[in-house]
C-alpha cells in the first residue's frame, strides 16, 4: 500500500534545479507551493484515521481553484464587509452593498423605499402596494406561500423577511443561507424598531446618509404625541383592537399596535394573550366592557362589520359611540406611516377619555374622513 505522505514528499524532492528556476521565472512556483501545502494539510487531517487506507482515484482531495484566484486578485479589489445584527441576533454580512433584494412582506417593501433602496427590489410578495412604484415589482407569491426556488430565480444578494410573519421562517433562512444567500430577519415590536429596521436596511444598501431626515421627522412626531398623551396621572382607557370579525381576532401586547396604544395612555384589554394575533370570543370582550373599540382592515376601507357592535348597546364603547376605524396600513404595517396611525389613535382614545363618566351623549360618528385629514399633517 502506498503511503500518502511519501508520495507528496517524493513530488517535492523530484523538482530538479532547472525546473525550479523555470518555475521561479514564470511565476508558477507560488501556485505549485500552494498546491503542495494544500495536499499536506489534507493529509494531516486524514492522518487521524487509518493511514493505510487506499486513495479513491475519483475523489478530489482539495479544490485549489480559489487559491489561484486569490493569488491573481489584487489586494485593492478586496471590499470591507458590511455587517448588521438583525432581530434574531444574527450577524448579516455582505461583501458589498446589496443590489438585488427580495422582500418577503409588504411593510418591508415600504421600508426599503424609505431606505432609498426601492429600485433595487427585484421581487416581492403580493399586496406590496406602497408606494405606487411598488406596483412594478415582480411577485413571488403570497407572504406565506412562496417557494425557495422562486426566490433563488431572481438571483438576490439579499433577502429581507418578516420573522414572525409566517411559520417556518427559521427553515427558510437555513435553506437560503445554505445556498449562500444572506437573509436579514425583520421583526419590529416597538415603535423605535421602525427606525432601526430602516437604518439597518440603509446600512446594507449603503444609503444611510440619505435617510436621516425622514427618520428624524418620524421620531420627533412620536415624541410630540408622547408628550401630549402620556402625561402622568392621565386616566388609562380600556381598548379593544379588532382586526377581523369572524373569527373575532385581535392583537396581543407583543404587537407594535400595543406599543402605540400605550403611548396614547390606553390599555389593550388582550395584551396578556399568548398568540400574537389571538382569536377571542364575544363574551370575553363583553366581560371587559371596553371604553373604546378600534378596528382596522387590510383593504384600508371602513368595514361594514364595524356596525355589528351596535347589537350590544350596554357596552361602554357603544353607549358613548366610541367605535372607530383606522386604516390598516397605518397601524399593522411597521413603516413610517405608523406615525399617522398613532396620531389618529391618540385622538380617538383621548375622545373616549373625555366621555368617561359623562352623562353627555356622544353624537360623533365613527367615520374617519375629517380625522384622517388632520393626522396627515406632518
Q: What is the 3-state secondary structure (H, E, C) of the chain?
A: CCCHHHHHHHHHHCCCHHHHHHHHHHCCHHHHHHHHHHHHHHHHHHCCCCCCCCCCCCCCCCCCHHHHHHHHCCHHHCCCCEEEECCCCCEEEECCCCCCEEECCHHHHHHHHHCCCHHHEEEECCCCCCCHHHHHCCECCCCCCCCHHHHHCCCCCEEEEECCCCCCHHHHHHHHHHCCCCEEEECCCCCHHHHHHHHHHHHHHCCHHHHHHHHHHHHHHHHHHHHHHCCCCCCCEEEEEECEECCEECCCCCCHHHHHHHHCCEEECCCCCCCCCCECCHHHHHHHCCCEEEECCCCCCCCHHHHHHHHCCCCHHHHCCCEEECCHHHCCCCCCCHHHHHHHHHHHHHHHHHCCCCCCCCCCCCCCHHHHHHHCCC
214 lies in a domain?
no
For residues 149 and 53, membership in a common domain is answered with: no
For residues 234 and 362, membership in a common domain is answered with: yes
* CA distance readout (Å), 149 to 204, 228, 320: 23, 50, 53
For residues 136 and 67, membership in a common domain is answered with: no
For residues 200 and 116, membership in a common domain is answered with: yes
For residues 357 and 274, membership in a common domain is answered with: yes
| Tens digit of each residue's pLDDT (9 = 90 or more) over 138-184 | 999 887 778 899 999 999 999 999 998 878 899 999 999 999 999 99
For residues 361 and 236, membership in a common domain is answered with: yes
How many structural domains compose the chain?
3
Residue length, the chain? Answer: 378
Q: What cell numbers appear for 99 in the block? A: 443590489
216 lies in a domain?
no
Looking at residue 167, what is its pLDDT? 81
For residues 353 and 241, membership in a common domain is answered with: yes
For residues 60 and 13, membership in a common domain is answered with: yes
286 lies in a domain?
yes
Q: Which of 16, 46, 77 is the last residue before a domain boundary?
A: 77
Q: Which of 21, 47, 77 is the last residue before a domain boundary?
A: 77
For residues 63 and 118, membership in a common domain is answered with: no
For residues 199 and 87, membership in a common domain is answered with: yes
220 lies in a domain?
no
218 lies in a domain?
no
Split at pLDDT 50, 70, 90, the class of 69 is very low
Note down the domain range covering 30.
Answer: 4-77
Q: Which of 53, 77, 101 is the last residue before a domain boundary?
A: 77
Looking at residue 376, what is its pLDDT? 52
For residues 281 and 334, membership in a common domain is answered with: yes
Q: What is the CATH number for 167?
A: 3.40.50.1980
367 lies in a domain?
yes
For residues 247 and 139, membership in a common domain is answered with: no
Closest C-alpha among 172, 170, 174 to residue 151: 172
| Tens digit of each residue's pLDDT (9 = 90 or more) over 190-240 | 999 999 999 999 999 999 988 989 999 999 999 999 999 987 788 999 999
| Tens digit of each residue's pLDDT (9 = 90 or more) over 273-309 | 999 999 999 999 999 999 999 998 777 778 888 999 9
Split at pLDDT 50, 70, 90, the class of 8 is very low
The average pLDDT across 53-74 equals 31
pTM of the model: 0.73
213 lies in a domain?
no
Residue 271 dihedral angles phi and psi, to the nearest 5°: -60, -30
23 lies in a domain?
yes
Amino acid at each position: 500500500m502506498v503511503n500518502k505522505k511519501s508520495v507528496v514528499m517524493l513530488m517535492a524532492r523530484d523538482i530538479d534545479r532547472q525546473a525550479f528556476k523555470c518555475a521561479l521565472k514564470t511565476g508558477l512556483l507560488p501556485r505549485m507551493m500552494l498546491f503542495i501545502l494544500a495536499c499536506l494539510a489534507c493529509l494531516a487531517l486524514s492522518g487521524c484515521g487509518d493511514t493505510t487506507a487506499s486513495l479513491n482515484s475519483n475523489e478530489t482531495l482539495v479544490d485549489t481553484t480559489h487559491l489561484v484566484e486569490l493569488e491573481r486578485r489584487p489586494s485593492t479589489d478586496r471590499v470591507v464587509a458590511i455587517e448588521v445584527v438583525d432581530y434574531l441576533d444574527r450577524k448579516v454580512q455582505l461583501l458589498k452593498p446589496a443590489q438585488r433584494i427580495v422582500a418577503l412582506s409588504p411593510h418591508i417593501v415600504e421600508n426599503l423605499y424609505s431606505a432609498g433602496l426601492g429600485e433595487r427590489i427585484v421581487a416581492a410578495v403580493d399586496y406590496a402596494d406602497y408606494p405606487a412604484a411598488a406596483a412594478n415589482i415582480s411577485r413571488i407569491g403570497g407572504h406565506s406561500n412562496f417557494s425557495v426556488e422562486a426566490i433563488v430565480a431572481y438571483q438576490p444578494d439579499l433577502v429581507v423577511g418578516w420573522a414572525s410573519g409566517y411559520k417556518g421562517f427559521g427553515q427558510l433562512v437555513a435553506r437560503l443561507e445554505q445556498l449562500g444567500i444572506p437573509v436579514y430577519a425583520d421583526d419590529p415590536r416597538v415603535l423605535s424598531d421602525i427606525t432601526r429596521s430602516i437604518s439597518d436596511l440603509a446600512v446594507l444598501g449603503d444609503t444611510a446618509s440619505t435617510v436621516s431626515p425622514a427618520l428624524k421627522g418620524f421620531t420627533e412626531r412620536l415624541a410630540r404625541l408622547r408628550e401630549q398623551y402620556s402625561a402622568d396621572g392621565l386616566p388609562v382607557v380600556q381598548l379593544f383592537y379588532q382586526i377581523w370579525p369572524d373569527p373575532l381576532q385581535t392583537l396581543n401586547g407583543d404587537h407594535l399596535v400595543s406599543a402605540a396604544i400605550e403611548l396614547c395612555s390606553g390599555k389593550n384589554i388582550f395584551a396578556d394573550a399568548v398568540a400574537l394575533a389571538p382569536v377571542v370570543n364575544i363574551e370575553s370582550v363583553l366581560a371587559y366592557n371596553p371604553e373604546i373599540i378600534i378596528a382596522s382592515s387590510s383593504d384600508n376601507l371602513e368595514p361594514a362589520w364595524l356596525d355589528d357592535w351596535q347589537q350590544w348597546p350596554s357596552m361602554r364603547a357603544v353607549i358613548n359611540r366610541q367605535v372607530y376605524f383606522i386604516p390598516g396600513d397605518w397601524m399593522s404595517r411597521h413603516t413610517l406611516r405608523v406615525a399617522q396611525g398613532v396620531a389618529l389613535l391618540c385622538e380617538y382614545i383621548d375622545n373616549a377619555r373625555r366621555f368617561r363618566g359623562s352623562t353627555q351623549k356622544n353624537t360623533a360618528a365613527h367615520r374617519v374622513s375629517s380625522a384622517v385629514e388632520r393626522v396627515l399633517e406632518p
